[in-house]
């Protein structure tokens, strides 16, 4: 008999021992804050379900929902246009009055989608189901239900007047035809916390926290240059785009931003939509909280990426920026999409600490590559390589710039399909080549500079994206000189 996934609670102190977590079977975390707290404070807790086994094991009721063939997540049965999964009541180790739900999956654009609900105890029963978000198409008639007598969903945050120790989640899926691909859910996260932890943050301790130097590079994107109309509103998707580029995953920042827009609120920065959007590109993301700089350094050193939600004094309207690391003195380095000179930028540590930990309660997106064993803010799981780029695929290109032709040389550590795609700077695909290799080794492919239409590519800059088994990615720039 196959052993079903169990529910476990992992407790981490400031200097946890090394450990390895099997997220495919388990997927639940509990984090104690590494800062002094009075008895009236309750710790942050993050609970995660990942993969079909964990998701279905925690199901209380399912209608037309089954495991996907690859066991990566859940979706609709072949004959169903819609389905629902209601998860068991979940219990937090400590009380909470704030909740940050997030999820990963996929849905066919224009033809299918899913929406996520949560509820908490209320009176002698439960609150109504509160809609916390949807993806991709909203195929449901009627208005959202986002509030009740003792709380509400404030765009992307559960705000409750009373403390709770339980919650429940429901997910509905729809598609417009049986021939349409099913929406899928791969991961479900819930971060719960106590608002008093933010209100009484130990600011002095935060300022004196000086992690060792580390740096994550990326291609900087200035959000105002992406589009004249929406450039001032897209700090969230632009920061996530820089995260994708840091992993070598090409993304069109404008397209990513447009997909990120929530039509219900007409905003581009709804937190769970951003991590969901990134999951369509091969990342695993959650919305969670950080309380110290040292916590963030552990994530970066394990191949993770962090996007911080900051407020006053850096931004009066709220802003999101990518954390790049720390210099040799422990001062944070960021990639700020709101500044034309925001590449490897350094705000004052005082201003950045206050705007993130104090004003915004340490809310952030945490990302890993989809195949990573790490998730959320697990301190010592995943890769030790801060670059986060797997060694399954390494690529070189010569000559570059070139006139007549250029050759890609790539080494693969496993067998599989290699796809080479070349894009112009507007994101339009110019050329594509795929081949299947039966074993690990060194291979090459020459591009003669012609487009898919058989025309010579004009002079200019291009971006190449090489993937192995549609999972491991390497990107770079090409220059064609005629």
Residues 147 and 273 in one domain: no
Residues 21 and 151 in one domain: yes
In this structure, the strands spanning 45-50 and 393-398 are unpaired
Residue 11 has pLDDT above 90, yes or no: no
Residues 360 and 473 in one domain: no
Q: What is the CATH number of the domain that holds 190?
A: 2.60.120
pLDDT at 439: 84
The answer to whether the beta carbons of residues 112 and 202 sit under 8 Å apart is no
Q: What is the mean pLDDT of residues 1-29?
A: 31
pLDDT at 427: 66
Residues 174 and 220 in one domain: no
pLDDT digits (tens, 9 = 90+) for 146-159: 999 999 999 999 99
Residues 25 and 160 in one domain: yes
**What contacts 24+ positions apart, CB below 8 Å, involve 29-35?**
29/375, 29/376, 29/377, 29/378, 30/93, 31/377, 33/197, 33/291, 34/291, 34/292, 34/294, 34/295, 35/201, 35/202, 35/205, 35/206, 35/291, 35/292
Angle between helix 271-279 and 235-246 (nearest 10): 30
Identify whether 271 is part of a domain. yes
pLDDT digits (tens, 9 = 90+) for 17-67: 232 233 322 333 333 333 344 446 889 999 999 999 999 999 999 999 999
pLDDT at 428: 77
Residues 217 and 182 in one domain: no
Identify whether 28 is part of a domain. yes
Residues 40 and 168 in one domain: yes
25: preceding bond cis by omega (within 30 degrees): no
Identify whether 385 is part of a domain. no
Identify whether 296 is part of a domain. yes
Identify whether 381 is part of a domain. no
What distance in Å separates the CA atoms of residue 383 and residue 368, rounded to the nearest whole number? 10
Residues 344 and 418 in one domain: no
Number of compact structural domains in the chain: 3
Q: What is the pTM of this model?
A: 0.73
- Which residues are within 8 A (CB) of 112 and not within 5 positions of it... i.e. 6 or more apart? 136, 137, 139, 173, 174, 175, 176, 180, 181, 182, 183
Range of the domain at 70: 11-199
- Which residues are within 8 A (CB) of 185 and not within 5 positions of it... i.e. 6 or more apart? 55, 73, 74, 75, 85, 103, 104, 105, 114, 171, 173
**Which one of 199, 225, 248 terminates a domain?**
199
Identify whether 239 is part of a domain. yes
Residues 43 and 170 in one domain: yes
401: preceding bond cis by omega (within 30 degrees): yes
The answer to whether the beta carbons of residues 316 and 338 sit under 8 Å apart is no
Identify whether 350 is part of a domain. yes
**Which one of 145, 168, 199 terminates a domain?**
199
Mean pLDDT over each residue of the chain, to the nearest integer: 86
pLDDT digits (tens, 9 = 90+) for 244-254: 999 999 999 99
Greater confidence (305 vs 24) lies with 305
Identify whether 388 is part of a domain. no
pLDDT digits (tens, 9 = 90+) for 411-435: 888 888 899 988 887 667 889 999 9
Residues 403 and 359 in one domain: no
**Which one of 369, 385, 412 terminates a domain?**
369
Which residue, among 31, 374, 58, has the nearest Cα to 185 in the 3D structure?
A: 58
Residues 271 and 324 in one domain: yes
pLDDT at 87: 96
Residues 155 and 285 in one domain: no
Greater confidence (199 vs 477) lies with 199
Six-digit token string for 433: 């080549």
Q: What is the CATH number of the domain that holds 358?
A: 3.90.70.10
Distances (CA, A) of 184 to 61, 72, 263, 367: 17, 9, 21, 19
How many beta carbons lie within 10 A of that of residue 162, not counting itself? Answer: 11
pLDDT digits (tens, 9 = 90+) for 173-202: 999 999 999 999 999 999 999 999 999 999
Q: What is the CATH number of the domain that holds 429?
A: 2.60.40.4070
């Amino acid at each position: 008999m196959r052993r079903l996934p169990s529910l476990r609670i992992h407790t981490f102190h400031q200097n946890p021992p090394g450990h390895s977590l099997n997220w495919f079977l388990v997927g639940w975390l509990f984090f104690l804050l590494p800062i002094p707290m009075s008895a009236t404070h309750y710790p942050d807790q993050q609970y995660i379900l990942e993969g079909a086994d964990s998701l279905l094991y925690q199901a209380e009721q399912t209608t037309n929902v089954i495991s996907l063939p690859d066991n990566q997540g859940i979706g609709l049965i072949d004959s169903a246009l819609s389905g629902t999964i209601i998860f068991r009541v979940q219990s937090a180790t400590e009380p909470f009055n704030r909740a940050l739900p997030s999820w990963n999956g996929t849905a066919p654009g224009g033809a299918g989608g899913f929406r996520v609900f949560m509820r908490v105890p209320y009176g002698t029963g439960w609150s109504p189901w509160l809609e916390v978000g949807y993806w991709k198409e909203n195929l449901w008639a009627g208005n959202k239900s986002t509030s009740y007598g003792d709380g509400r969903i404030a765009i992307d945050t559960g705000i409750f007047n009373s403390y709770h120790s339980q919650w429940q989640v429901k997910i509905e899926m729809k598609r417009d035809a049986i021939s349409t691909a099913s929406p899928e859910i791969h991961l479900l996260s819930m971060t719960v916390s106590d608002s008093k932890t933010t209100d009484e943050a130990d600011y002095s301790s935060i300022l004196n926290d000086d992690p060792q130097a580390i740096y994550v590079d990326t291609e900087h994107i200035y959000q105002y240059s992406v589009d004249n109309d929406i450039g001032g509103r897209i700090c969230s998707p632009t920061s996530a785009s820089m995260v994708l580029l840091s992993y070598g995953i090409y993304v069109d920042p404008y397209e990513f931003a447009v997909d990120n827009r929530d039509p219900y609120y007409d905003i581009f920065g709804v937190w769970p939509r951003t991590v969901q959007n990134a999951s369509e590109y091969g990342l695993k993301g959650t919305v969670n909280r950080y309380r110290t700089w040292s916590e963030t350094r552990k994530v970066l050193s394990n191949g993770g990426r962090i996007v911080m939600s900051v407020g006053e004094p850096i931004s009066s309207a709220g802003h999101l920026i990518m954390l790049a690391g720390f210099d040799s003195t422990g001062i944070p380095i960021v990639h700020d999409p709101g500044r034309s000179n925001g590449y490897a930028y350094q705000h004052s540590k005082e201003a950045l600490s206050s705007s993130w930990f104090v004003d915004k309660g340490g809310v952030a997106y945490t990302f890993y590559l989809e195949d990573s064993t790490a998730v959320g803010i697990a301190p010592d799981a995943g890769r030790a390589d801060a670059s986060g780029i797997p060694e399954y695929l390494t690529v070189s290109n010569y000559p570059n710039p070139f006139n007549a032709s250029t050759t890609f040389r790539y080494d693969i550590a496993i067998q599989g399909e290699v796809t080479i795609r070349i894009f112009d700077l507007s994101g339009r695909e110019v050329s594509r080549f795929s081949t299947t290799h039966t074993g690990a080794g060194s291979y090459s492919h020459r591009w003669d500079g012609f487009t898919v239409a058989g025309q010579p590519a004009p002079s200019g800059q291009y971006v190449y994206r090489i993937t192995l088994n549609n999972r491991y990615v390497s990107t770079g720039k090409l220059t064609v000189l005629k």
